[in-house]
Amino acid sequence: MTAPVLDPCCGSRMMWFDKQDERCLFGDKRQESTTLCDGRALEIKPDILLDFTDLPFEDNEFHLVVF
């Protein structure tokens, strides 16, 4: 098992206190950096590029999937 938790639509990881938490595999279908209209930087940098509608994992590979 890679990590006990999967976040398949992590985006910029806004819901995470620890955005580098090694207990989670962060996935998203996009990888990009941009500046928002108010000047804040938005970075979407998943550990793995994937589409949540077709996950490349076996059943029961994670203890928890957050969505």
DSSP 18-56: STT-TTEEEEES--EEEE-TTS-EEEE--SEE--TTS--
The number of domains in the chain is 1
Query: What is the predicted pLDDT for the residue at 3?
Result: 87
Range of the domain at 38: 1-67
Digit-coded pLDDT (tens) for 29-63 = 999 999 999 999 999 999 999 999 999 999 999 99
Indicate if the pLDDT at residue 1 is higher than 60: no
Q: How far out from the chain centre does Cα 61 lie?
A: 16
Please give the model's pTM, rounded to 2 decimal places: 0.89
